[in-house]
Each structure stands twice: as C-alpha cells, then as structure tokens.
C-alpha cells in the first residue's frame, strides 16, 4: 500500500531557476498548490556547463518547494527515484512541464505544459490541456499562455524608453532573431537594452547606446526603462519573455507567423521571403525581408500615440490572462479527473 495519502494533483518541477520553463512551472506550482511535488535536481546539467563561462550555470533553488521529494537528473525519460514514482502515482493527475521525466508515468493521467511554439494549427494545444508527449496524439485546442501573477501586472503603461531584445537559448541558435537585432543595434537612431532569456550575460562587439542585462539577479529588472520588446523569431509561439513584457506594458514587435497575430497583440514582422519588399530580380532573402519589416515597425512605434496604444493593448491582454482569470478554469479541468 502507498505510504502517501491519495491526492488530486501531483506536480513535477525543476530546480534550475534561470530558465523560463522553470519560472513558468513555479507559477503553476504556487497557484495550483499540488498535493505532491517532485523536484528534478538539475545539478548534472551544471556539471556539464562550460568551465570557461561560469555564468552559463543555471541557479538551483530547492527551497521554493518545501516538503518536495528530490529526484536526481537522469535524463528526460530516465527513471525517477522509487519514492517519487510512488508519490506521483497516488495522485489522480500529474502536471509536468513538457515531459513526464519517467516513461512509467506516460500512462498516468497527465496535464503537460506543452510549449505551443512547436505546434501550429490543428497541433496547437492549451498549456494545461491533457495530452501525451507525442505530436501525433496532440488534440486541437486553444493556445493559452502561462497565466501571469496578478502582483506582477503594471497598472500604467511605461511610455517611451529603450528597445529591449532578449536573446535565445545558446543551444537553439538564432531562435529569437538575435542576429537581425544585433545588426540593427549598430544604427544610432534607437537605444537598446540587450538581455538573455537564461540569465546569461552577452558580450557583443562594440554597440553604442546598448545596455547589457541579466535576468538571473532580478527577473523583472530587464524590463525597466524599456518601451518595446523586439522579438523577431522565424517561427511562432508564446514564450515567457512575451508574457512578461506585456505584463510590464511593453509593446511587442514579433514575427507574424501563426499563431502570433491571432493570439497576442503584436506589431507584426514579415516572415515570408520577399514579403512586401521586391527587387528587379525578384524576392529577397528572408533575413533581409525581416530586417526591413522590423525597421519599419520600430519607426512606427516612435510615434508616442501609436506606442501608447500598443502598450495599453499589452496590459489589457495581460490582465485577461492573469491567474485570477485562469485559476478557476484550470481548476475545473483538474477537478474533472
């Protein structure tokens, strides 16, 4: 017999706290208050970090999950410790971020935090939608962002400020359009703040009027003094940076790939080769198209009235997607098991 009292909700979380995924999972944990919590100890990832770049190590914070069971990292589908498996199986449903972390749990009723940037159209799922970790099995559904904590919402739009770009994960190449942005940073007409989504400090070559920032010290400070998030990804999908930027009232300039224009209040950047730009020889490369479209979007937002319109739209969206709005809906899904 299980030594754990049967609960409604079990949750698998991660200890690394420099990453967006861990921030989002903690937000779910804090608001949903699971009966059982298993923390993945990611120190193995830290051991493999570049020794010449100590800032690449992700901070680990176990104390955020009091009473949790700690299971060492052994890979995304490697076994959890027996104590963790027993505790999770005592629950009616398990919430976890993107993977079960143990193949034996795949048959257990689960709510996976599926990042919709990887799925489009009929494959798009709600973050809290009950799914399995197989793209062929993903049911259709609405794309729902991680709800925003009400205390993190600004009441008033920030107005004029620097342009903010948050570079992508080092393992994912130019996932956030950083190569396009860094070229534009050399132009003197805009002032920038450059940050990194994993809290890693960047060291670009000479860029005047640019402020470097890291999110590892203060998650929200990177948005201070900024007016626009510039995020020209070459594919669609929500991310923590877009969530946070709209919670702080920043206008968002983002690629116009599905599902972005239909889901979030963004200023679109063309992501079709040639786009609205033509030459006598025909279409121009995608990167050149995006750079041209991005520059046009930023010039549009130099108008104060236009900027404020988009900033207010961000705040309205953020309030509609706060935990106070979404908690009853998510609880209803969990209670249905």
For residue 124, what are the domain limits? Answer: 7-147+323-335
Give the whole-number percent of the chain exceeding pLDDT 90: 29
- CA distance between the termini of the chain: 22
Question: Residue 33 pLDDT more than 70?
Answer: yes
For residue 50, pLDDT over 60 is answered with: no
Whole-model pTM above 0.75? Answer: yes
Domain membership flag for residue 233: yes
- 49-63, 86-100, 168-182, 274-288: which is most confident: 86-100
Residue 45 confidence (pLDDT): 54
* Beta-bridge mates of residue 101: none
Name every residue whose Cβ is closer than 8 Å to that of residue 303 and which is 6 or more positions away in sequence. Answer: none
What is residue 96's predicted lDDT score, i.e. its pLDDT?
A: 83
The DSSP annotation for 236-291 comes to: ----HHHHHHHHTT-EEEEE--TTHHHHS--EEE--STTTT--BTTB---HHHHHH
CATH of residue 173's domain is: 3.40.50.2000
Q: Answer yes or no: do 69 and 90 share one domain.
A: yes
Do 103 and 19 belong to one domain?
Answer: yes
Same domain, 141 and 164: no
Helices (H) then strands (E): counts for the chain: 9, 11
Shared domain check, 202 and 99: no
Among 213, 270, 223, 271, which Cα is nearest to 246's? 223
What's the mean pLDDT in 233-256? 84
How confident is the model at residue 280, as a pLDDT? 56
Residue 2 in any domain: the answer is no
Q: Which of the pair, 263 or 17, is modelled with greater confidence?
A: 263
**Are 198 and 231 within one domain?**
yes
Sole residue written with tokens 């629950």: 91
> For the chain, what is the domain count?
2
Residue 19, pLDDT score: 65
Residues 190 and 106 in one domain: no
Higher pLDDT, 329 or 143: 329
Q: Is the pLDDT of residue 329 over 70?
A: yes
Statement to judge: residues 231 and 330 lie in one domain: no
- Domain membership flag for residue 30: yes
Q: Name residues whose C-beta falls within 8 Å of residue 70's C-beta, 6 or more positions apart in sequence.
A: 15, 38, 39, 41, 62
How do residues 123-150 score in pLDDT, each as one tens digit?
Answer: 444 443 333 333 444 444 454 557 889 9
Distance (Å) of CA 147 to CA 35, 37, 297, 314: 20, 20, 28, 14
8 Å CB contact between 112 and 126: no
Per-residue pLDDT at 267 exceeds 90? yes
Residue 25, pLDDT score = 83
Cβ neighbors of 125 (< 8 A, separation 6 or more) are 114, 116, 119, 131, 138, 139, 140, 141, 143
Answer whether residue 216 is part of any domain.
Answer: yes
- List the single range of 25-39, 79-93, 173-187, 222-236 with lowest mean pLDDT: 173-187
Identify the three-state secondary structure at position 229. strand
Q: What is the pLDDT of residues 213-233, one digit of tens each?
A: 554 456 788 899 999 999 887
pLDDT of residue 126: 44
- Residue 306: inside a domain, yes or no? yes
The residue ranking higher by pLDDT, 332 or 310, is 310
Helices in 70-172 by DSSP H: which ranges?
Answer: 82-89
- Find the mean pLDDT for residues 97-110: 81
Quick check: 266 and 236 in contact, CB under 8 A? Answer: no
In a domain, 1, yes or no: no
Instruction: Give tens-digit pLDDT for 191-201.
Output: 888 887 655 44
Is 118 found in the same domain as 25?
A: yes
Claim to verify: residue 284 and residue 162 sit in the same structural domain: yes
Check whether residue 169 and residue 311 sit in a common domain.
yes
Q: What is the pLDDT of residue 336?
A: 77
Helix/strand/coil percentages in the chain, nearest 5:
35, 20, 50
Q: Which of 18-22, 107-111, 180-184, 321-325 has the lowest mean pLDDT?
A: 18-22
> Is the Cβ–Cβ distance between 259 and 143 less than 8 Å?
yes
Q: Which of 36-45, 109-118, 235-244, 283-292 has the lowest mean pLDDT?
A: 109-118
Query: Please, is 189 exposed, middle or buried when counting C-beta atoms within 10 Å of its C-beta (0-12, 13-18, 19+)?
Result: exposed
| 111 in any annotated domain | yes
Residue owning tokens 């600004």: 154
pLDDT at 158 over 50: yes
For residues 92 and 133, membership in a common domain is answered with: yes
pLDDT score for 133: 35
Q: What confidence category does residue 63 fall into, taking pLDDT thresholds of 50, 70 and 90?
A: confident
Higher-confidence position of 314 and 119: 314
In a domain, 86, yes or no: yes
Residue pair 210/194 in contact (Cβ under 8 Å)? The answer is yes
* Tokens (6 digits) for 70: 């700690």
Q: Which of 88, 162, 165, 158 is nearest to 314 (CA)?
A: 158
Q: What is the mean pLDDT of the chain?
A: 76
256 and 113 in one domain? no
**CA–CA–CA angle 143, 96, 9 (5° rounding):** 105
């Amino acid at each position: 017999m299980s030594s754990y009292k049967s609960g409604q909700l079990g949750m698998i979380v991660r200890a690394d706290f420099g990453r967006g995924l861990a921030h989002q999972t903690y937000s779910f944990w804090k608001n949903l208050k699971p009966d059982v919590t298993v923390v993945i100890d990611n120190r193995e990832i830290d051991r493999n970090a570049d020794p010449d770049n100590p800032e690449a190590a992700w901070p680990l914070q176990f104390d955020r999950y009091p009473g949790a069971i700690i299971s060492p990292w052994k890979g995304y589908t490697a076994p959890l410790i027996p104590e963790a498996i027993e505790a999770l199986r005592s629950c009616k449903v398990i919430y976890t971020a993107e993977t079960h972390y143990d193949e034996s749990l795949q048959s257990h009723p689960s709510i996976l935090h599926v990042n919709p940037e990887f799925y489009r159209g009929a494959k798009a799922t709600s973050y809290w939608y009950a799914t399995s970790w197989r793209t062929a099995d993903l049911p259709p559904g609405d794309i729902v962002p991680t709800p925003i904590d009400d205390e993190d919402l600004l009441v008033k739009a920030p107005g004029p400020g620097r342009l903010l770009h948050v570079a992508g994960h080092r393992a994912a190449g130019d996932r956030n359009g950083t190569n396009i942005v860094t070229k534009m940073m050399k132009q003197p007409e805009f002032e920038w703040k450059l940050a990194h989504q994993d809290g890693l400090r960047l060291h670009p070559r000479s860029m005047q009027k640019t402020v470097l920032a890291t999110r590892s010290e203060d998650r929200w400070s990177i948005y201070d003094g900024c007016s626009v998030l510039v995020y020209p990804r070459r594919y669609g999908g929500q991310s923590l940076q877009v969530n946070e930027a709209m919670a702080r009232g920043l206008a968002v300039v983002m690629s116009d790939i599905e599902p972005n224009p239909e889901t979030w209040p963004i200023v679109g950047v063309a992501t079709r080769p040639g786009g609205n730009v033509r030459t006598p020889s025909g279409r121009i490369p995608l990167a050149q198209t995006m750079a041209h479209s991005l520059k046009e979007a930023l010039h549009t937002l130099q108008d104060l009235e236009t900027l404020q319109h988009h900033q207010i739209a961000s705040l309205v969206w953020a309030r509609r997607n706060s935990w106070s709005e979404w908690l009853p809906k998510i609880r209803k899904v969990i209670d249905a098991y």
